[in-house]
A and B are shown apart, each in its own frame.
Chain A
């Protein structure tokens, strides 16, 4: 019954694909975060590799550019002893007119065990998960404006690492929310994990109006949005996703919504500042904040590897 409702879960309610955080029970999220803790300690060993995915082939299918996400997935798969094949699809089959499902069928014939998929179209990883062989697992590495579940999970890992507990927190997500699959995944995860106050902060043109229905408080005033926050998640201003004049200028945005030391002073004294990267210094965040004592932007990257190891080993160990 669960599997009919949620294509990510098998009939025992176990995770077999990671496509979106939306609809995943709290226990599944918590288990991934706990498992990531184990993998983080693998970095401290003489041998920084475990054999869980030995003999498996992980195909990184990036239909859209990414350096950090692709690299951290590659490192994670290699630390699990998988063979990793990186395909820059932009430059190959698609350019020759092959359909997505034909590409997948061909890669499946090469005995793929897992696809890590980034695509500019929302829902592309779902389509692949529906059409691949039952033993193949799919991880969504970002689809359109829809979801970026491993980023959401690594953000949750980071918050839990520094704040221990979700249930008393105020979390402000600031910036270009309308284009952000990270914001959407974060909001679903924060809600599921019991964060009582989630704020979406940004100009009217960049904050979707329907967020109230998700239990999110919308703030168009930066001071109101980050006052008393425990966690501030800054988002990148996505120039490449902007069509039309949604903003007067980057400089204007920085003046109103850029995170400067003065604005950060409104948050709790022990607030942490997060960012999914890549950061635009002087556009959404001041250099002194990005490099400052509240910033946990680089630890996020390190945690991201452990979280992706946890996701890949969890789904690989569960049967469809």
Chain B
């Protein structure tokens, strides 16, 4: 069984994001795991204000077959026009969520640039999308679902489940 130490990967992600963060960049976490990560990165990297939270719900390409996904709404507490945006997510897989949130982002304005940093890249891409930083690159069978959990004390852990 695959073991991933989410806390250790988080420490690597923090270093990776610090290295690629342009001056005056804004963090935007993808709901829900990415939003937790962005919240902690904002604090640990000493960035002012709150990070943005972005939802893929309104731009998902599986709406017709799966319906509306439950999610917190997108909340960007800053103007994104001409801003360098660093998207944060827990896992990148097919790339479809990233396609959806990039469309969502552009409904709010025209950022100067958009980059992506993730804890885990599990391969399996179906779109030409790549993370500028991934703390781990692994390979998982399509039958398995990898998701981040956050404990009451804020510590992260990974759970691997057989997809239902």
Binding site for B on A (CB under 8 A): 14, 31, 34-35, 37-38, 41-42, 45-47, 49-52, 313-314, 316-319
A134 to chain B, nearest CB (A): 14
- Would B58 and A50 count as touching, CB distance under 8 A? yes
- Would B68 and A313 count as touching, CB distance under 8 A? yes
- Would B67 and A45 count as touching, CB distance under 8 A? no
- Would B59 and A317 count as touching, CB distance under 8 A? no
Q: In the complex, which residue of chain A has the Cβ closest to the Cβ of B80?
A: A46
Task: Using A41-B73, A41-B74, A46-B108 as known contacts, say yes or no to A14 and B57 having CB atoms under 8 A apart.
Answer: no
15 other A-B residue contacts (CB within 8 Å) besides A46-B109, A314-B67:
A35-B68, A38-B58, A38-B73, A41-B74, A42-B58, A45-B107, A46-B108, A47-B108, A50-B107, A52-B58, A52-B68, A316-B64, A317-B64, A318-B67, A319-B65
Binding site for A on B (CB under 8 A): 55, 57-59, 63-68, 70-71, 73-75, 103, 106-109
Can you pick out 25 interface pairs between chain A and chain B where the beta carbons lie within 8 Å of each other?
A14-B67, A31-B70, A34-B70, A35-B68, A37-B73, A38-B55, A38-B57, A41-B73, A41-B74, A41-B75, A42-B58, A45-B108, A46-B108, A46-B109, A47-B107, A47-B108, A51-B103, A52-B58, A52-B63, A52-B68, A314-B67, A314-B68, A316-B64, A317-B63, A317-B68
Assembly CA distance A317 to B69 (angstroms): 10
- Would A51 and B59 count as touching, CB distance under 8 A? yes
Q: In the complex, which residue of chain B has the Cβ closest to the Cβ of A318?
A: B67
Which residues of the partner chain A approach B66 to less than 8 Å between Cβ atoms?
317
Assembly CA distance A226 to B106 (angstroms): 48
Assembly CA distance A52 to B109 (angstroms): 20
Q: In the complex, which residue of chain B has the Cβ closest to the Cβ of A48?
A: B107
A31 to chain B, nearest CB (A): 8
Assembly CA distance A42 to B65 (angstroms): 23
A105 to chain B, nearest CB (A): 24
Assembly CA distance A31 to B57 (angstroms): 14
A139 to chain B, nearest CB (A): 16
Assembly CA distance A226 to B1 (angstroms): 64
The listed residue with most B CB atoms (<10 A of its CB), out of A14, A31, A51, is A51
- Would A317 and B67 count as touching, CB distance under 8 A? yes
Assembly CA distance A45 to B103 (angstroms): 13
Which residues of the partner chain B approach A45 to less than 8 Å between Cβ atoms?
107-108
Q: In the complex, which residue of chain B has the Cβ closest to the Cβ of A53?
A: B63
Assembly CA distance A46 to B81 (angstroms): 11
Which residues of the partner chain A approach B71 to less than 8 Å between Cβ atoms?
38
Q: In the complex, which residue of chain A has the Cβ closest to the Cβ of B71?
A: A38
Which residues of the partner chain B approach A31 to less than 8 Å between Cβ atoms?
70
Which residues of the partner chain A approach B67 to less than 8 Å between Cβ atoms?
14, 314, 317-318
Assembly CA distance A41 to B71 (angstroms): 14
A203 to chain B, nearest CB (A): 43
- Would A47 and B106 count as touching, CB distance under 8 A? yes
Which residues of the partner chain A approach B108 to less than 8 Å between Cβ atoms?
45-47
Q: In the complex, which residue of chain B has the Cβ closest to the Cβ of A56?
A: B64
A215 to chain B, nearest CB (A): 30
Q: In the complex, which residue of chain A has the Cβ closest to the Cβ of B104?
A: A50
Which residues of the partner chain A approach B73 to less than 8 Å between Cβ atoms?
37-38, 41
A37 to chain B, nearest CB (A): 7
Which residues of the partner chain B approach A314 to less than 8 Å between Cβ atoms?
67-68
B80 to chain A, nearest CB (A): 9
B55 to chain A, nearest CB (A): 8
The listed residue with most A CB atoms (<10 A of its CB), out of B65, B68, B103, B109, is B68
Q: In the complex, which residue of chain B has the Cβ closest to the Cβ of A41?
A: B73
The listed residue with most A CB atoms (<10 A of its CB), out of B55, B64, B103, B109, is B64
B54 to chain A, nearest CB (A): 12
Q: In the complex, which residue of chain A has the Cβ closest to the Cβ of B64?
A: A317
Q: In the complex, which residue of chain B has the Cβ closest to the Cβ of A40?
A: B73
B7 to chain A, nearest CB (A): 32
Assembly CA distance A318 to B55 (angstroms): 20
Which residues of the partner chain B approach A52 to less than 8 Å between Cβ atoms?
58, 63, 68
Assembly CA distance A38 to B75 (angstroms): 10
Assembly CA distance A14 to B65 (angstroms): 13
The listed residue with most B CB atoms (<10 A of its CB), out of A49, A313, A317, is A317
Which residues of the partner chain A approach B107 to less than 8 Å between Cβ atoms?
45-47, 49-50
Q: In the complex, which residue of chain B has the Cβ closest to the Cβ of A45?
A: B107
Assembly CA distance A47 to B65 (angstroms): 25
Q: In the complex, which residue of chain A has the Cβ closest to the Cβ of B109?
A: A46
Enumerate the 7 nearest inter-chain pairs by beta-carbon distance, A residue then B residue, closest first: A317-B67, A47-B107, A50-B58, A38-B73, A45-B107, A317-B68, A318-B67
